[in-house]
Chains A and B, each alone.
Chain A
């Protein structure tokens, strides 16, 4: 299921063409519009808005997956329990830690890749292919491949590390290595996406700026630093927030590579919700934990909004 961000420009673009005089509405236009919109609205309400509201309701009940229906009234008990649960807060921390570990490299490496690819004249398609291809690989295949790369003794990484004379860590089995190892796999897997967003951003930088700078004797490095990077500011902002939101939703890779282990030391928030809801069948409590997790995402989104407003005003 895809989750999305729309910058203010995108949202208003949708409404722009239609803001002209409502009073000149042709008879039947309103009806036609609603007819065309209805299939979407029905699916949207039944499968998104509905469940969202039902989720809020559920979080106040002792709902279980064993029986249908809401179960008995719980009031704030589910929320109180989540607030007091160290397992819950640990999972929130693992999600946050993973986000902190993955976001900077996923933004910086993507930027470096895009700037470099823009510089070479030949075989651009080849680099695009190599960097973007992992992004379309299903997480389950990524899990199988990286599970093998990280395997103790027989894995490629352990062998390389031993060859340079260091005892390889137990990549996925050591509590202090598990999440960083998953983060590394994630960087390989998803950097291609940010890379392509940066490539798109680079297209919008006018060429004459570089030419003018070159005439003034600016070295390529100076051009990158004083033209490319500042003019990519908007793209960087977009890539960063999308990456933060994507990283906060970490589940697949952890579930597949470490199953949250060892001893839950790498279990992220969504896997906690999954465990509580689908292993313990405590749907009401899991819904409450989901709401708290959602609040975290909204807070991050709000911070982004403030930052981007400020940045746009600054420009």
Chain B
């Protein structure tokens, strides 16, 4: 996964013009708009097929899949593949593991990185410039090139096959610090001065003034940390070898070999792996897209 902070700072102010009021006007453009819609629908159909196909297959009885593997139609929809995978794999445990690791990582990342971002952008602590350089240096280092030393480290700490192996390395995310720092630096200094005059401590200013004002930054960092942690693959694959501790992606990767070509069950597993975050996205769509555009996270 990759991420970026583009020109960050508090949400860009959008000039009044309503989005839907635009375009579509003017002579030849009605035809053009229709043409765009048609092309879009074709794209949408292509993009929807893989997930719909997985969903469709997962409801078909195995005998039908064997006789007509590429038919969309089923006369006997069934949940038997789902019953089977829940009864015969640790899917429920994997969900729990993913949920715990992603939630704890999300909370700790928001707390630790927002505190650091606050210190960098709103206190005149010594050494800010050096710390900023250190952050940017860290952004350049992909986690993938650190798998060997990190593995040795967790092995030495006896933390392999624990939730901590997933959580600890994910918390200190330099890009999250930069997002918070940029967001905080857009908050008026008068607020800080007023709170200082009232005798508030820096910790109090951080918790009672800055955090409540920073919901967009908090939710963007929280959502993306959750998604990244939930979907992490290479590192969990290395450090979680015990079936009881696997997260959803690592567990699913072990499924293919287990079910062989029983496609109904393979597709049911894929659907169960895809469903949680797709549903989350369905509900938080607006916030996720806005979070991405205001913070430029990838």
Interface string of A176-209 (1 = CB under 8 A from B): 0000000000001000010011011001101110
Assess whether A196 is in contact with B289, with CB atoms less than 8 Å apart: yes
Task: Provide the residues of chain B in CB contact with A249, threshold 8 Å.
Answer: 2, 142, 144
Task: Provide the residues of chain B in CB contact with A20, threshold 8 Å.
Answer: 124
Assess whether A40 is in contact with B113, with CB atoms less than 8 Å apart: yes
Assess whether A51 is in contact with B174, with CB atoms less than 8 Å apart: no
Q: Which of A107-144 contact B (CB under 8 A)?
A: 112-113, 116-121, 125-134, 136-141, 143-144
**Among A118, A129, A146, A220, which residue has the most Cβ atoms of chain B within 10 A?**
A220
Task: Provide the residues of chain B in CB contact with A29, threshold 8 Å.
Answer: 123-125, 202
Interface string of B24-37 (1 = CB under 8 A from A): 11101100110011
**Among A6, A68, A234, which residue has the most Cβ atoms of chain B within 10 A?**
A6
Assess whether A40 is in contact with B29, with CB atoms less than 8 Å apart: no
Range for the number of chain A residues in contact with chain B = 35 or more
Assess whether A136 is in contact with B281, with CB atoms less than 8 Å apart: yes
Q: From residue A195, how far is it (CB to closest CB) to chain B in Å?
A: 10
**A164 is an interface residue with CB less than 8 A from chain B:** no
**B77 is an interface residue with CB less than 8 A from chain A:** no
Assess whether B24 is in contact with A137, with CB atoms less than 8 Å apart: no
Q: From residue A231, how far is it (CB to closest CB) to chain B in Å?
A: 15
Assess whether A116 is in contact with B298, with CB atoms less than 8 Å apart: no
Q: Which of A49-78 contact B (CB under 8 A)?
A: 49-52, 54-55, 58, 63, 65, 68
Among B123, B249, B280, which residue has its beta carbon within 8 angstroms of that of A140?
Answer: B249
**A16 is an interface residue with CB less than 8 A from chain B:** yes
Q: From residue A116, how far is it (CB to closest CB) to chain B in Å?
A: 5
Assess whether A246 is in contact with B181, with CB atoms less than 8 Å apart: no
Interface string of B106-141 (1 = CB under 8 A from A): 000000110111111111111011011010101111
Assess whether B293 is in contact with A203, with CB atoms less than 8 Å apart: yes
Q: From residue A144, how far is it (CB to closest CB) to chain B in Å?
A: 4
Q: How far is the CA of A48 from the CA of B227 in the complex (A)?
A: 21
Assess whether B172 is in contact with A2, with CB atoms less than 8 Å apart: no
Q: How far is the CA of A149 from the CA of B277 in the complex (A)?
A: 22
A44-B174, A188-B47 known; A33 vs B113 contact (CB < 8 Å): no
**A221 is an interface residue with CB less than 8 A from chain B:** yes
**A291 is an interface residue with CB less than 8 A from chain B:** yes
User: Which partner residue on chain B sits nearest A20 by CB separation?
Assistant: B124
Q: Point out residues on A near B: beta carbons under 8 Å.
A: 1-7, 9-11, 13-18, 20, 22, 24-26, 28-30, 32-37, 39-41, 43-44, 46-52, 54-55, 58, 63, 65, 68, 112-113, 116-121, 125-134, 136-141, 143-149, 151, 153-156, 159, 188, 193, 196-197, 199-200, 203-204, 206-208, 210-211, 214, 219-221, 234, 238, 242, 245-246, 249, 251-252, 256, 270, 273-274, 277-278, 283, 286-287, 290-291, 293-294, 297-298, 301
Between A and B, 17 residue pairs with Cβ closer than 8 Å are A2-B228, A3-B142, A7-B6, A11-B178, A13-B8, A14-B121, A32-B119, A33-B119, A40-B113, A47-B168, A120-B36, A120-B37, A145-B53, A149-B53, A206-B15, A211-B22, A252-B234
* Leading 8 A-B pairs by shortest Cβ distance: A33-B125, A1-B143, A200-B293, A33-B123, A17-B185, A14-B181, A32-B202, A40-B116
